[in-house]
Structure 1
Amino acid sequence: MRAARWILKIVLVGLVMLSAGLPTSAAAAMTIGVVVDGPWAGNDEVLRLFRGEIKVLVEREFHVAFPADKLRIGDWSVESVRRAVDALLDDPQVDLVLAMGVIASHEISTRGSLPKPAIAPFIIDQQMQGIPRRNNASGVNNLSYIAAPPPTLRDLRAFHDLSPFKHLAVLYNRALYEAIPRLSANLRDLTDELDSRLTLVPVDEAASEALKRLPAGIDAVYVAPLLRLSPSEFEKLVSGLKARRLPSFSLMGRAEVERGILAGIAVDDFTLRARRTALNLQRILLGERAATLEVALTPGERLTINMETARAIGFYPSWGILTEAELLFEDGRPTGPLLSLGGVAHEALKANLDLAARAQAVAAGEQQVVQTRAALLPQVSVGAEALLIDRDRAESSFGNQAQRTLSATARLRQSLYSESAWADFESAEYQQQAREQDRNALRLDIVAEAVQTYLSVLRAQTVRRIEGQNIELTRTNLELARVRREVGFSGPEEVYRWESQIATDRQRVIAAEVNEDLARIALNRLLHRPVETVFQLEDIRVDSPEMLIGRPEVFRYVDNPWDFRIFRDFMVSEGLARAPELHRFDAAVAAERRQQSAARRAFWTPEADLRGELSQRLAEGGAGQSPPAADVPLTLPQEDDTRWSLAINLSLPLYSGGARRAELGRTTAEVARLQLERAALAQRLEQNIRSALLSSRGTFAGIHLSRAAADAARNNLELVKDSYSRGVLSIVELLDAQSAMRVAELVAANAVYDFLHDFSEVERATGFFFFLESPQEQHDWLARLQNFFHAAEPMPWRQR
């Protein structure tokens, strides 16, 4: 294991120096000269990073100085960098040269044997640049360089998978490609391999010039390090690429993705090179030859996508890439308006189609009540009649019936007393009350469904977040496994194992995303919205003020078994008093009892009604209009054109074939049935309330216990991960620790939502959703709770 060998060498050299009586600090004083390619806004930050890493590693044993007059900054030309390197190599006060730039690293690494030690941290393609390498070292006297695997081919393949392109533009630093001409040819070879055209676009110090040079027809842009661009010019470049809706990919990786480039793979390359530089410098100070130091570096790799840029250019990565990549500026995935629990419940009550249909049933029932009441009110009707009879009958009527007659009639009927009509009317009113209670029960069901669906979305979001964090952890462990392989702690099998684990974790992420989408569709359906409507949800905590259990005046009644038993009694009494299901049975029993009473009275109570009729002859014609003339004077009575009648009718059936007795028996049995069903329902409701309360007590206790388990699992994972990175533990222990933490996090998250779900069942069973009630109703409920406890039997220890 190479890292172990380095440590062993440090110890041995230190022992030798001590045994020889040499003061290690005095023997190791060193002045470092630094060469930088040219002016760049990030120079100070990078130099601080390298100096900091070097001092942290060696300052306890050695004195290392970075004099300001030994810092040489070129002008981005090969000649200026060459002169700076020559000056530092010839300077007797400089003990080691640090080439802080791609041009400087190339220049110093291609000189052959050097007069003094030099470190070149920025070799981008050792083979293509023609830099010597022997047994994973430079093999050149006094030369140590750092070379990662060439990133360009890796980047272009990933970019092509992300956004298949046919014409690629490469934005590059003109000075760098002039210093290393083979870079251009190498890029052309790579794009040929991808069956794509290539256009090289040099970039100096102005983004506008670079954007102008972009030819028409390109469909992707690869951004090489553009160190001559100031931060403001880089922002202009990014804005220009967005405006043209061009996908972009950064060779420098995450740092530039954060600044607006669409995607990249490299992760914190500067820090890794700085730490290797510090380690190589320490080994040189301890007496190792620079020519023998390892040159290979395995940097971190992680596809990173700027989702803000993706949205701006209308780019949508595939599902596989979305689950594999790290997504920046995703805004937690959900977008749209922010919904609260109370808002969702109220909207569900307004928009739910089932409740709207039930409201129409209630409206129809109101008209049915009016319809049955009509039998008790006056019934008035009018009519007209045109009558034509034969002539001989008209002539023989002695003027009482004309051959053609037109008349109008008005009729009145008023029930004076009808037991059956009154029973139907009063029963209809009770039945309407039952319909209203049925609607109230549906309202509670809809609120309960809204709460549980709301919690389902929050639960799915949390699971997705945990699975996303888990795959990020797996990616980190994959990078760690690659480093372990590089330093000799493990072989390639661990890398393959972590790559396999990433595939498994991606499946879990996809499943979590699907579950969240399904939960969102269910909530949109409940709110009668288009099922793909996007929204955000306010999170709910156990101690949220809108939650009943979150109120301190309630929580104190459930924190011990004695008070919790009394609390259950109170909730049962409240639930049975409020339950619309029981009120619906009460109304149904009252309706059937009224029918029972009518059936009993039908044996001796008659029905009475008043009937009246008024008829007016309007016109007549033909024979029979007047009596015939007689030879003998004879006066016959003649009716006038108006007729009326008024009658009172009483009726009492004496025998109906047993129908009245059968009706009495039916209603008596129906009343008994409804009463039994109500009693059974009351028992079930009490069981539901008590069971839901007991279940919520168990899940509430699980919140604290599962959170403690998750904290312990997380701490354990940190310890195991640290031991794994030092080669003490194997991949199996780390996999187990990571799996344990993932499961513990899921259990802890589910514990909260399990409790909230259980307590929503309590509220539904009692018919009282605290967060929907007005402040006055909430106050009254809390007052009843307090009075109930005061009236309950005091605890034994309180009696003393």
Structure 2
Amino acid sequence: MSRVPLFLKIIVGLFFSAVLAFCVQAKQECFSTSPNLKNGQKWRVAYVQGGPYIHYRTNLISLLEALRDLNWVEPFQLPEAKSNDDTEELWQWLSKNIRSNYIEFVADAYWCGQWPKQEEEKAAFKEKVLSRLRTSSDIDLVLAFGTLGGQIMAEKVHRIPTLVMSIADAVAAGVVESASDSGFDYIHARVDSTRFERQLELFHRIVQFDVLGIVYEDSDIGRSYAGVTRIQNMAKKLGFHLTECKAPSDKTVVVQKTIECYQYLAPIVDAVYLTYDVNIKEAHLPDIIAPLLAYKRPSFSQSGPREVKYGALMGMTDVSYKEVGFFHASTMAKIFNGAKPRQLNQEFPNPYRLAINVETERQIGFQFPDSILMMVDEVYTDIRTVP
């Protein structure tokens, strides 16, 4: 029997040491995404959100499509949605109709808080969710959507792996300790720590405004969703003046006051940054966009192309939803293959892909530079009205 030379042993040893070191440094790459079972049983998944919001449904669908592409679920055809922000109807459909040998979406493990405003309401909703998770061992992973959903799950009273999705700023909201470390073995939140900054740099470079207007709900959640502190910091960095209008958090008046804020800002600012706002539905967008068109104010949608369809000048495209969905699905698959959420990379920046509305461009007398047109992925040629 021939002996292996010592120098070859050393080389092989160094190679495997390098691989191990790489796995420690790039931990997320060392776990498989292949479908498997939990001790012969399907993985049971739960869902929690603070309230209905259109981007939650879109992100959930993107996750499902990525799980399909990774072979965790079989191909599916979703039913037509009755409402663009109704995830409960979608979740119940998934629990009954998604075919999978590996995952079960648990019908009675869905929680939606209907945006509780008072602290006692938030505490009651949190207890409703956590009491189930504390007293039952039937859930293997939780999908927590948005700031409130993430805050509920970032508690030490449970140890259930949790993916926090569709959250504006997980670090500022206290859901994770930092972009590189969640601080909890069982929490993972996607972080794009410079998303708003990149958007504002691009918007300022294109429009060169001196005064920017923003509107947000005057609450901790409202400020977190809108990224107010980050916008204020960018105003200082880029040297523009920021004019803010705060809508009260009272459910009975918040939408009307938000619309009035845009009416107030339109004549006194150079441009408007349309921030995330869970109170605003598609039916409200024409009233928000109308004063911006009347006063010929360029606008940038912080959240995506929905506002661009209704007349915002520009925003980032839906193309990134597919990529974000794959990021979350891969993370979920790695957890089911033995990874702790804390071990996996949280940072995933949105790519620069722009949506523009050329009818808005025409109405406000604006012209995009050719260099910007090269970045455009989606073009809307009219301004949608609510049916």
TM norm structure 1: 0.36
Does 2:155 match 1:90?
no
Q: Match for residue 243 of structure 2? A: 199
Cα RMSD for the two superposed structures: 3.4
Q: Match for residue 59 of structure 1? A: 73
Displacement of 1:297: 0.7
Alignment deviations for residues 8-52 of structure 1 (CA, whole Å, 9 cap, x no partner): 6438997xxxxxxxxx36534232221112133555444344344
What SS class does the counterpart of residue 270 from structure 1 fall into?
helix
Q: 2:101 and 2:213 mapped to 1: Cα distance?
A: 48
| Residue identity (%) | 22
The one-letter code of the counterpart of 2:348 is L
Q: Match for residue 102 of structure 1? A: 147
Q: Select the residue among 257, 268, 271 that pairs with 1:220.
A: 271
What SS class does the counterpart of residue 165 from structure 2 fall into?
strand
Residues 197, 77 of structure 1: alpha-carbon distance in 2 compared, 3 angstrom cutoff: farther
Q: 2:42 and 2:304 mapped to 1: Cα distance?
A: 37
Residues 84, 165 of structure 1: alpha-carbon distance in 2 compared, 3 angstrom cutoff: same
Q: 1:160 and 1:137 mapped to 2: Cα distance?
A: 32
Write out aligned runs for 1:726-737 (5 A). none
Write out aligned runs for 1:518-667 (5 A). none
What SS class does the counterpart of residue 312 from structure 2 fall into?
coil
Residues 165, 6 of structure 1: alpha-carbon distance in 2 compared, 3 angstrom cutoff: closer
Q: Are the counterparts in 2 of residues 114 and 141 from structure 1 also a CA contact under 8 Å?
A: no
Q: Are the counterparts in 2 of residues 122 and 147 from structure 1 also a CA contact under 8 Å?
A: no
Q: Match for residue 258 of structure 1? A: 309
What SS class does the counterpart of residue 172 from structure 1 fall into?
strand
Does 2:363 match 1:304?
no
What SS class does the counterpart of residue 67 from structure 1 fall into?
strand
Q: 1:327 and 1:274 mapped to 2: Cα distance?
A: 19
Write out aligned runs for 1:388-427 (5 A). none
Residues 98, 330 of structure 1: alpha-carbon distance in 2 compared, 3 angstrom cutoff: closer
Q: Select the residue among 33, 36, 53 that pairs with 1:40.
A: 53
Write out aligned runs for 1:173-322 (5 A). 173-174=217-218, 177-178=221-222, 180=224, 183-202=227-246, 204-206=254-256, 208-214=259-265, 216-265=267-316, 267-322=318-373
Q: Are the counterparts in 2 of residues 105 and 120 from structure 1 also a CA contact under 8 Å?
A: yes
Displacement of 1:326: 4.7
Displacement of 1:169: 0.8
Q: 2:31 and 2:192 mapped to 1: Cα distance?
A: 25
Alignment deviations for residues 568-593 of structure 1 (CA, whole Å, 9 cap, x no partner): xxxxxxxxxxxxxxxxxxxxxxxxxx
Displacement of 1:137: 4.2
Q: 2:152 and 2:224 mapped to 1: Cα distance?
A: 9
Alignment deviations for residues 210-243 of structure 1 (CA, whole Å, 9 cap, x no partner): 3344264211100112232221211221233212
Residues 269, 188 of structure 1: alpha-carbon distance in 2 compared, 3 angstrom cutoff: same
Q: 1:75 and 1:116 mapped to 2: Cα distance?
A: 23
Residues 266, 13 of structure 1: alpha-carbon distance in 2 compared, 3 angstrom cutoff: closer
Q: Match for residue 680 of structure 1? A: none
Equivalenced residue count is 319
Range 118-127 or range 92-101, more displaced: 118-127
Does 2:43 match 1:30?
yes
Residues 327, 59 of structure 1: alpha-carbon distance in 2 compared, 3 angstrom cutoff: closer
Displacement of 1:188: 1.6
Write out aligned runs for 1:434-513 (5 A). none
Residues 37, 149 of structure 1: alpha-carbon distance in 2 compared, 3 angstrom cutoff: same
Alignment deviations for residues 486-529 of structure 1 (CA, whole Å, 9 cap, x no partner): xxxxxxxxxxxxxxxxxxxxxxxxxxxxxxxxxxxxxxxxxxxx
What SS class does the counterpart of residue 34 from structure 1 fall into?
strand
Displacement of 1:75: 2.8
Residues 283, 169 of structure 1: alpha-carbon distance in 2 compared, 3 angstrom cutoff: same
The one-letter code of the counterpart of 1:99 is A
Stretches of structure 1 lacking an aligned partner (at least 5 in a row): 15-23, 332-800
Residues 308, 182 of structure 1: alpha-carbon distance in 2 compared, 3 angstrom cutoff: closer
Q: Are the counterparts in 2 of residues 26 and 62 from structure 1 also a CA contact under 8 Å?
A: no
Write out aligned runs for 1:715-754 (5 A). none
Find the structure with the greater CA-based Rg.
1
Residues 9, 190 of structure 1: alpha-carbon distance in 2 compared, 3 angstrom cutoff: closer
Q: Match for residue 794 of structure 1? A: none
The one-letter code of the counterpart of 1:89 is L
The one-letter code of the counterpart of 2:47 is V
Residues 215, 82 of structure 1: alpha-carbon distance in 2 compared, 3 angstrom cutoff: farther
Q: Are the counterparts in 2 of residues 151 and 251 from structure 1 also a CA contact under 8 Å?
A: no
Range 268-277 or range 288-297, more displaced: 268-277
The one-letter code of the counterpart of 2:60 is L
Displacement of 1:100: 1.2
Residues 35, 157 of structure 1: alpha-carbon distance in 2 compared, 3 angstrom cutoff: same
The one-letter code of the counterpart of 1:90 is S
Q: Match for residue 117 of structure 1? A: 161
Residues 11, 291 of structure 1: alpha-carbon distance in 2 compared, 3 angstrom cutoff: closer
Q: 1:285 and 1:82 mapped to 2: Cα distance?
A: 30
Q: 1:11 and 1:317 mapped to 2: Cα distance?
A: 42
Displacement of 1:163: 0.9
Q: Match for residue 143 of structure 1? A: 187
Q: Are the counterparts in 1 of residues 27 and 345 from structure 2 also a CA contact under 8 Å?
A: no
Residues 103, 179 of structure 1: alpha-carbon distance in 2 compared, 3 angstrom cutoff: farther
Q: Match for residue 113 of structure 2? A: 74
Q: 2:181 and 2:47 mapped to 1: Cα distance?
A: 22
Q: 2:375 and 2:224 mapped to 1: Cα distance?
A: 34
TM norm structure 2: 0.70
Q: Select the residue among 32, 55, 60 that pairs with 1:10.
A: 32
Alignment deviations for residues 544-582 of structure 1 (CA, whole Å, 9 cap, x no partner): xxxxxxxxxxxxxxxxxxxxxxxxxxxxxxxxxxxxxxx
Q: 2:39 and 2:287 mapped to 1: Cα distance?
A: 51
What SS class does the counterpart of residue 10 from structure 1 fall into?
coil
Q: 2:327 and 2:371 mapped to 1: Cα distance?
A: 34
Q: Match for residue 16 of structure 2? A: none
Q: Are the counterparts in 2 of residues 252 and 266 from structure 1 also a CA contact under 8 Å?
A: no
Q: Which structure has the highest helix share of the two?
A: 1
Residues 210, 12 of structure 1: alpha-carbon distance in 2 compared, 3 angstrom cutoff: closer
Range 316-325 or range 217-226, more displaced: 316-325
